Structure 1
Amino acid sequence: MFGRSNNSQPVTPALSESTPSPADPGKGRPTPKRKVAEAANKRPLVAPATKKATRERAKAQRDLEYRAMQTGDERHMPAKDRGPVRRYVRDSVDARWNLGEFFLPVAAVFLVIQFALAQSGLAILAILALYVYIIAAVIDVWLMWRGLKKRVAAKFPADQIPARGLAMYAVLRAFQIRPSRLPKPQVKHGQRPA
Structure 2
Amino acid sequence: MFGRKKDEPQSPVNVQPVEQSSESADGRKTGPTPKRSAQQANRQRPLVPTDRKAAKEAERQQRIEAQNRLRIANETGDERYLMPRDKGEQKRYTRNFIDSRWMFGEFMMFIILAFLVISLVFQSNLQIQVFVQLALWVVIALIILEAIVTSILLKRRLVAKFGHMERGVRMYAAMRGMQFRKLRLPKPQVARGAKVD
Q: TM-score, normalised by structure 1?
A: 0.70
Q: Please tell me whether residue 117 in structure 1 is matched to residue 115 in structure 2.
A: no
Q: Which residue of 2 aligns with 1:85?
A: 90
Give the equivalent residue in structure 2 for 1:18.
none
Shift of 1:56: 2.2
Aligned pair count reads: 149
Structure 1 segments of 4 or more deviating over 4 A?
43-47
Residue 100 in structure 1 maps to residue 98 in structure 2: no
Matched, 1:191 2:194: yes
Q: Which residue in 1 is equivalent to 2:133?
A: 127
1:72, 1:186 within 8 Å by CA — same for their partners in 2? yes
> 1:166 aligned to 2:172?
no
Indicate conservation of the 8 Å contact 1:91/1:186, yes or no.
yes
SS in 2 for 1:139: helix
Matched residue SS, 1:88: helix
RMSD, aligned CA: 1.9
**Greater displacement, 112-121 / 77-86:** 77-86
The residue type paired with residue 152 of structure 2 is R
Q: What code does the residue aligned with 1:151 have?
A: R
| Structure 2 residue runs without a partner (length 5+) | 1-45
1:143 matched to 2:149? The reply is yes
Matched residue of 2:190: which SS? coil
How far apart in 1 are the matches of 2:125 and 2:81? 55
Identity of aligned residues (%): 35
Q: CA deviation at 1:182?
A: 0.5
**CA positional deviation for 1:86:** 1.1
Corresponding letter in the other structure for 1:132? V
Q: Quick one: higher RCO (CA 8 Å, sep 6+), 1 or 2?
A: 1
Paired residues for 1:25-104 under 5 Å: 48=52, 49-104=54-109
CA displacement at 1:51 relative to structure 2: 4.3
Which is higher, the Rg of structure 1 or of structure 2? 1
Segments of structure 1 that go 5 or more residues without pairing to the other structure are 1-42
- Out of 52-61 and 145-154, give the one that drifted further: 52-61
Shift of 1:94: 0.8
Tell me the SS of whatever aligns to 2:139.
helix
Counterpart of 2:141, as a letter, is I
- CA offset at residue 175 of structure 1? 0.5
Question: How far 1:44 moved relative to its partner?
Answer: 5.0
- Name the amino acid aligned to 1:64: R
- TM-score between the two structures when normalised by the length of structure 2: 0.69
Deviation of 1:186 after TM superposition, in Å, equals 1.1
Report the CA distance shift for 1:46/1:176 in structure 2 as closer, same or farther (over 3 A). farther
The equivalent of 2:160 in structure 1 is: 154
